[in-house]
């Protein structure tokens, strides 16, 4: 069996009054992430980790942020499409491990709901989706609540036969 790993990173700006989509769900928040799609920073980082593991470039390469088709798009579509691309090439998602860096609101109470939303899109068990959250201890743009970061690593496997 062939095993590969991949790394993903993403950042989005936060803006007052915007809806906040994170990990495939809508978070109750005063500020939300801005971007061309629904700006789900966690899904974008996971997509990049999976694409990187399969050596298929990155999310912006497949879903350009100048393409009107993706304006306001639900990022769950991107993750299911990335999974489909991997399956086409014989890869299966093993597990993903992620960290969201966000000052407010608290992410921990929503992690179970995020895992439930994301696991089926990658066709893995919820136990194969790890999501962790931390703050930036008030430092930098995340600490000033101007933005949100997400990191992800993914493992994928392919049978040799």
Chain residues in the site for Zn ion (CB under 5 A)? 10, 44
Handedness of CA 37, 38, 42, 46 (dihedral sign): negative
Q: What is the nearest approach in angstroms of Zn ion to the Cβ of residue 125?
A: 26
Question: Cβ 58 to Zn ion, closest distance in Å?
Answer: 10
Output the residue with the shortest Cβ distance to Zn ion. 44
Cα 157 to Cα 93: distance, rounded to the nearest angstrom? 7
Phi and psi angles of residue 20, each rounded to the nearest 5 degrees, phi first: -115, 105
For residue 32, give Cα distances in angstroms to 4, 112, 117: 33, 20, 19
Looking at the Cβ atoms of 4 and 36, the one nearer to Zn ion is 36
**Which lies closer to Zn ion via its Cβ, residue 44 or residue 110?**
44
Q: How far is the CB of 44 from Zn ion (least distance, A)?
A: 3
Length of the chain, please? Answer: 161
Q: Which is nearer to Zn ion, 10 or 103 (CB)?
A: 10
Sheet strands (E) in 17-91: 20-22, 25-27, 31-34
Taking the complex as a whole, how short is the minimal distance between the CB of residue 155 and Zn ion, in angstroms? 22
Nearer to Zn ion by Cβ, of 10 and 128: the residue is 10
């Amino acid at each position: 069996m062939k095993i590969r790993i991949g790394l993903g990173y993403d950042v989005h700006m936060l803006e007052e009054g915007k809806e906040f989509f994170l990990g495939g769900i809508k978070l109750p928040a005063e500020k939300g992430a801005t971007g061309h799609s629904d700006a789900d920073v966690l899904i974008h980082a996971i997509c990049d980790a999976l694409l990187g593991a399969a050596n298929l470039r990155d999310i912006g390469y497949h879903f350009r942020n100048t393409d009107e088709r993706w304006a306001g798009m639900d990022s769950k579509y991107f993750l299911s499409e990335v999974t489909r691309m991997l399956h086409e090439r014989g890869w299966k998602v093993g597990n993903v491990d992620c960290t969201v860096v966000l000052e407010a609101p608290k992410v921990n109470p929503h992690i179970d709901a995020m895992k439930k939303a994301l696991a089926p899109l990658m066709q893995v068990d919820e136990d194969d989706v790890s999501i962790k959250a931390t703050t930036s201890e008030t430092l930098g743009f995340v600490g000033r609540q101007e933005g949100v970061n997400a990191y992800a690593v993914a493992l994928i496997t392919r049978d040799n036969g």
